Amino acid sequence: EALQERYRVGSLLGRGGFGSVFAATRLSDGAPVAIKRVPRNRVRHWGELPDGTSAPLEIVLLDKVSTGFPGVVQLLEWFELPNNIVMVLERPERSQDLLHFIRARRFLSEEVARELFRQVLEAVRHCTSRGVLHRD
């Protein structure tokens, strides 16, 4: 109920092994967000947030890395529903999946590739500095 009161859920953005991501709009200010829905039975690992709340490990790790750094999508809030875990994430309006970015250009100049690689390294450095190592 809290989800429907605060967000208007739109089209499916993507689906993966652990859940689905939808475009959505925050009703209070019209901000674009992404809503990731993960079936509760797919959550294998749980951890603890700084306030002692038990949460899926993905949320615990996002909480550690997603504040104050532009290269990591920010976790805005999350909900624990009877059958699903729902994460509300920022959705930058001017963004594009890396695969689509590369395919649209057919090739990348060395300068563009260097800039993309720099951004990835900065994000990895940020996550590592917060004690989070991403396996992708």
Name the binding residues for ATP.
36
Is 136 known to be catalytic? Answer: yes
**What string of DSSP letters covers the chain?**
-HHHHHEEEEEEEEE-SS-EEEEEEETTT--EEEEEEEEGGG---EEE-TTS-EEEHHHHHHHHHSSS-TTSPPEEEEEE-SSEEEEEEE--SS---HHHHHHHHSS--HHHHHHHHHHHHHHHHHHHHTT-----
Binding site, by residue number, is 36
Q: Which of 29, 63, 97, 136 is catalytic?
A: 136
- Residues acting as catalytic residues: 136
